Chains A and B, each alone.
Chain A
Amino acid sequence: MVHLLLEAMSDAIEEISSKDVSFADIRRESQSGNTIIVVNGNLREFKNVSKAGAVARVLVGECWGQASTTLPLSKELYEELLEEALKRARASAKYSRKNIDLSNIPSHVDKVFQKVKEDPTTVPYEEKIGIALELDKGQKIDDRVVNTNAYLMDQKRDYALVNTVGSRLEWDEIRTLSYIMSVAKEGEQTQFNVEIAGGSGGYEIIRKINPEEFSKSCASGAVELLKADKPPSGELTVILDGSMSGLIAHEVCGHASEADEVVKERSFLTGLVGKQIGTDIVTMVDDGTLKQWGGIPFDSEGTPTSRTAIIENGILQGYMHTLETSVMMGVSPTGNGRAQDYNRRIFARMTNTFFDKGDWKDEEIIEDTKDGLYVIKMTSGMEDVVGGGVQASALKGYIIKNGERTKLVRSMTLAGKVLEILKTVDAVGNTLEFDGGTCGKGEEDFIPVSSGGPHLRAKIVVGGG
């Protein structure tokens, strides 16, 4: 069946003969996923969602036309999509200032299907529901825990892609996740805590969880925050945990290293390759080959994923590329052309992005800090590609006094200019930690990524809410 679909796609793409078309591709996607949500001991959602569609892209000059549909597919329909895409590309191409030639990009013919230890679809639904109920129940450790939530999700995406340089690809992606959240209340104070375990892989990810410990840790974290103080504000010596260093790697350095932002000179990292932008213990990488949440075999253009050095020993090495940006900058594509789904555009996106580890033990960094703030567990962040500004929010932290954790503090945001912050990094931990989630760019186009890093010490502005 899939073979026949690929054949119809290939037949359609081979018939593109317009002289003004320099490149075209067709991608077919199917997504299917199971979600179980338990709230306060009750099964709130149990669902299997699926969707499938196809999208055709055509490049004329430097402008793309794109058309997608969910109608049952045939060679004729693929041809119609290409025709519609061509019409739109031509209309835009009157603004085109140059031709982008993708005819020499490498072609790939392959089938890559993810090997997982335990295919989530083979695990009985009853068992998954049982685990979700257990994860929820385990959070009820105290009367102050007023709301408990457990979320279990597995998802499979299947892709087929053909293009005009001869690529013929089929691949899949499998992800599994558990997310729990506890809300605690005492008087007028309401606080929450979350725990997440997930990645690119099968149900083995859930099997590794100790439900009792996982749930208890989440709930006790929420209860502890009820007594937490407001954090200090101003420029401080900050120790970031791996979750927070990952957030800065992703939001600030990562988005600014997406090459589409560089070729139009929007990124503050434009023109800085070869320049020292951090201390020599700062190294940052995007690596889609890792079995983390953002791992992929191919990007949405059919380029194999890769490990891309962004910063090495403080020196900016390069950027993350789509086919188009790689041709524009004369480098190899890195497999970072990603789209949310068949309805969305492809542009340069991250996969698994992280600061690499250093030599310090985590505890050594704390012991070495006289006055500082230990910032733990990211909640959200926002990119600033133009200015290189940081907005990175954390759930909690500890005041550090004379090398020891003292008061627990809650809810804070880190700010400042990342190029200044990276030049103050003086300690990098030797253990990596990753968080999986979805990343938007320009406020939308959400894709699975992970961010991560080691513990890292720097001078950063803090504001607490």
Chain B
Amino acid sequence: MNIREIADKLITLSQKEGADQAETYVVLAKTSSVYIDDNIPKIADVKMELGINVKFITGKKIGFTSSTLLNETPEEVVIRAKKLASLSEEDTKFVSLPEPQQVSGNRERFYDKKTANVSSDEILEKAMLVVDSTISNGITVPNGVLRASSVDYQVKNTQGIDTGSMGTQVFGYFTAKSDKDGAVGEGVQRCWSRELGNIDFAKMGTKLQAQALAVLNAEPFKAKWEDITAVLAPSEGCEMLGNLVGSACSAENVNNRSSPWTDRVGDKVAHESLTVYDNGQSENGLLSGIVDAEGFPTQKTLLIDHGVLQSYYYDSYNGNQVGLESTGNGIRRDSRDAHGSFNNLPSCASSTLEVSAGKYSVEELIGQIKKGVYIEHFAWPQVDAISGSFSNEIRNARLIENGELTTQIKYALLVGNLYESIQKEILYAKDLQVNSKRFMPTIAFSGIELVGQE
């Protein structure tokens, strides 16, 4: 059976078992990958996973279950979902599964055949291109992974939705270690794309090498700089801004009142320099599809316009609670891992968060900063999306003094509150890049502290 036939069968069985409403999501994911270890391809793997789930609804009682059908039948899965629904409490906030909408576009719109059908030899060759472009005297590639995946999913429900979408996603992560006269350093590079052909692997290796070498010159930062500007590379800044905005604009967090931006549509929540979209049809988005994981059409939603909160984003569950339609943000997939999405209920999550490119190169942007720090890599770019606070350890950074990059530093924390920092002017470079679920450039935030080992 193909995924459409399986979806048909699961809905037919659910109706036969007396479901008032039912929904199924059937997904086939395939991945080919190579893991690099100590400069060589250590593990090469191929995987195929077929997963299903069923949401069985009786009144407002919902049972959800999933399976890979390796050791059970669709009938057994539906019976289990029915049992769960019968034992459940009512979800008083549930209104209905979504109704069918006009879906435009071909389900293959965000699917790249070449990426989906990449051979094991080709992916090995690309990964080794990064390695060969990185290694030199004193520089090795201890770790790396490159994988190319395809997903094909079908969503069907009792309200008439019967649709799906396909996608491809590529993820790479490589580290380089430099070692000179007893000093060690590390560079980190990631790549994300819907198409393998869009990634310049040799350039990635060259950048990785340069990062690893630069870190060797780092000096311990022994001061405390207050009220400075931090210029964050796309991989770091987009993760922090994306987590903050993505969490604060999620209708799930708004409806349950854990978002600081609850009841604030129309309010100025940030400086006028901040405009953010959620784009479920982003050409660059790893989770882009013509429909979301509930079968609802995806769209581009303006969240913040020149600092003013315009909208939250919705899945059908949260939209129904406030009488609004879904914005196509019922998400089950993960931008890094194509497998396992069938185990998830749709969650109200961002698809691809986008901000526009600025007009400056990174160098020009740095040229405008009197006192600050340019950060290429944190230990991890985290932010507490509830309070906005962050304190992140710097792994690869240089000070900015009077518009110039000066000392490479180590042993320092970047400390601040991002809800407060976005009240001040934000600067953008023009180097837009996809990183996980964000499409954003280098970003500069101000009002931040740099804390060293005094």
Contacting A88 at CB < 8 Å: which of B46, B345, B380, B382? B46
- A391-425 interface (Cβ within 8 A of B): 391, 393, 410-413, 415-417
Give Cα distance in the complex from A375 to B168, angstroms. 44
Chain A residues lying within 8 Å of B412, measured Cβ to Cβ, are 415
Question: In the complex the two chains form, is B142's CB within 8 Å of A66's CB?
Answer: no
Is A121 an interface residue when CB atoms closer than 8 A count as contact? no
Chain B residues lying within 8 Å of A384, measured Cβ to Cβ, are 379, 393, 395
Chain B residues lying within 8 Å of A386, measured Cβ to Cβ, are 175, 177, 184-186
Given the interface contacts A47-B64, A65-B44, A88-B46, does A412 sit within 8 Å of B391 by beta carbon? Answer: yes
Give Cα distance in the complex from A54 to B70, angstroms. 9
Question: In the complex the two chains form, is A260's CB within 8 Å of B124's CB?
Answer: no
Is B402 an interface residue when CB atoms closer than 8 A count as contact? no
Chain A residues lying within 8 Å of B84, measured Cβ to Cβ, are 46-48, 125
Question: In the complex the two chains form, is B70's CB within 8 Å of A71's CB?
Answer: yes
Give Cα distance in the complex from A387 to B216, angstroms. 11
0/1 interface trace, chain A 433-465, chain B, CB 8 Å (1 if under): 000000000111000000000000000010111
Is A96 an interface residue when CB atoms closer than 8 A count as contact? yes
* B87-95, B199-207, B271-279, B308-316 - the one binding chain A: B87-95
State the Cβ distance, A459 to closest chain B Cβ, in Å. Answer: 10
Chain A residues lying within 8 Å of B72, measured Cβ to Cβ, are 50
Chain B residues lying within 8 Å of A235, measured Cβ to Cβ, are 453-454
- B52-70 interface (Cβ within 8 A of A): 53, 62-70
Give Cα distance in the complex from A188 to B46, angstroms. 50
A-B interface contact total, Cβ < 8 Å: 268
Give Cα distance in the complex from A361 to B185, angstroms. 40
Question: In the complex the two chains form, is B46's CB within 8 Å of A84's CB?
Answer: yes
Give Cα distance in the complex from A202 to B140, angstroms. 46
Question: In the complex the two chains form, is A463's CB within 8 Å of B91's CB?
Answer: no
Question: In the complex the two chains form, is B45's CB within 8 Å of A52's CB?
Answer: no
* A35-43, A103-111, A280-288 - the one binding chain B: A35-43
State the Cβ distance, A245 to closest chain B Cβ, in Å. Answer: 18
Is A266 an interface residue when CB atoms closer than 8 A count as contact? yes
Given the interface contacts A43-B90, A233-B449, A389-B411, does A49 sit within 8 Å of B49 by beta carbon? Answer: no
Chain B residues lying within 8 Å of A95, measured Cβ to Cβ, are 40-41, 128
State the Cβ distance, B149 to closest chain A Cβ, in Å. Answer: 11
State the Cβ distance, B290 to closest chain A Cβ, in Å. Answer: 26
Chain A residues lying within 8 Å of B378, measured Cβ to Cβ, are 391
0/1 interface trace, chain A 62-75, chain B, CB 8 Å (1 if under): 11111111111100
Question: In the complex the two chains form, is B65's CB within 8 Å of A47's CB?
Answer: yes
Is A45 an interface residue when CB atoms closer than 8 A count as contact? yes
Question: In the complex the two chains form, is A88's CB within 8 Å of B66's CB?
Answer: no
State the Cβ distance, A376 to closest chain B Cβ, in Å. Answer: 16
Q: Interface SS of chain A: helix, strand, loop or mixed?
A: strand
- B124-158 interface (Cβ within 8 A of A): 124, 128, 140, 142-143, 145
Contacting B340 at CB < 8 Å: which of A51, A133, A380, A411? A51
Contacting A266 at CB < 8 Å: which of B49, B68, B177, B342? B177
Give Cα distance in the complex from A148 to B259, angstroms. 13
State the Cβ distance, B240 to closest chain A Cβ, in Å. Answer: 12
Contacting A63 at CB < 8 Å: which of B43, B386, B392, B454? B43
- B406-431 interface (Cβ within 8 A of A): 410-417
Is A217 an interface residue when CB atoms closer than 8 A count as contact? no
Is A343 an interface residue when CB atoms closer than 8 A count as contact? yes
0/1 interface trace, chain A 116-140, chain B, CB 8 Å (1 if under): 0000000011100100010000000
Chain B residues lying within 8 Å of A413, measured Cβ to Cβ, are 391-393, 413, 415
Give Cα distance in the complex from A389 to B68, angstroms. 41
Give Cα distance in the complex from A461 to B412, angstroms. 9
Question: In the complex the two chains form, is A69's CB within 8 Å of B257's CB?
Answer: no
Given the interface contacts A382-B379, A391-B393, A444-B337, does A88 sit within 8 Å of B454 by beta carbon? Answer: no
Question: In the complex the two chains form, is A64's CB within 8 Å of B42's CB?
Answer: yes
Give Cα distance in the complex from A268 to B179, angstroms. 11
Give Cα distance in the complex from A266 to B41, angstroms. 16
Chain B residues lying within 8 Å of A343, measured Cβ to Cβ, are 31, 47, 49, 339-340
How many A residues touch the partner, as a band? 35 or more
Give Cα distance in the complex from A74 to B63, angstroms. 32
Give Cα distance in the complex from A270 to B343, angstroms. 40
Is B256 an interface residue when CB atoms closer than 8 A count as contact? yes
Given the interface contacts A69-B48, A343-B49, A417-B411, does A48 sit within 8 Å of B64 by beta carbon? Answer: yes
Is B387 an interface residue when CB atoms closer than 8 A count as contact? yes
State the Cβ distance, B213 to closest chain A Cβ, in Å. Answer: 14
Chain A residues lying within 8 Å of B439, measured Cβ to Cβ, are none
Question: In the complex the two chains form, is B391's CB within 8 Å of A464's CB?
Answer: yes
Contacting A461 at CB < 8 Å: which of B37, B340, B413? B413
Given the interface contacts A146-B257, A234-B451, does A96 sit within 8 Å of B71 by beta carbon? Answer: no
Which residue, B35, B89, B120, B391, has most C-beta atoms of chain A within 10 A? B391
Minimal Cβ-Cβ distance residue in B for A43: B89
State the Cβ distance, B134 to closest chain A Cβ, in Å. Answer: 14
Is A427 an interface residue when CB atoms closer than 8 A count as contact? no
Which residue, A49, A71, A263, A345, has most C-beta atoms of chain B within 10 A? A49
Question: In the complex the two chains form, is B65's CB within 8 Å of A234's CB?
Answer: no
Question: In the complex the two chains form, is B47's CB within 8 Å of A411's CB?
Answer: no
0/1 interface trace, chain B 173-184, chain A, CB 8 Å (1 if under): 101010000001
Give Cα distance in the complex from A235 to B222, angstroms. 10
Give Cα distance in the complex from A87 to B340, angstroms. 25
Is A208 an interface residue when CB atoms closer than 8 A count as contact? no
Chain A residues lying within 8 Å of B393, measured Cβ to Cβ, are 382, 384, 389-391, 413, 415
Is A173 an interface residue when CB atoms closer than 8 A count as contact? no
Chain A residues lying within 8 Å of B345, measured Cβ to Cβ, are 45, 47
Is B260 an interface residue when CB atoms closer than 8 A count as contact? yes
Chain A residues lying within 8 Å of B91, measured Cβ to Cβ, are 42-44
Give Cα distance in the complex from A260 to B37, angstroms. 9
0/1 interface trace, chain B 157-174, chain A, CB 8 Å (1 if under): 000000000000000010
Give Cα distance in the complex from A126 to B34, angstroms. 46
State the Cβ distance, B196 to closest chain A Cβ, in Å. Answer: 17
Give Cα distance in the complex from A411 to B416, angstroms. 11
Minimal Cβ-Cβ distance residue in A for B93: A42
Give Cα distance in the complex from A396 to B224, angstroms. 22
Is B121 an interface residue when CB atoms closer than 8 A count as contact? yes
Can you offer 9 A-B residue contacts whose CB atoms are under 8 A? A40-B256, A50-B68, A50-B72, A67-B45, A67-B47, A92-B44, A183-B257, A190-B387, A234-B451
Given contacts A189-B387, A343-B340, A465-B384, 11 further A-B contacts (CB under 8 A): A48-B65, A50-B65, A62-B40, A63-B40, A95-B41, A264-B142, A266-B143, A387-B410, A389-B395, A391-B378, A412-B391
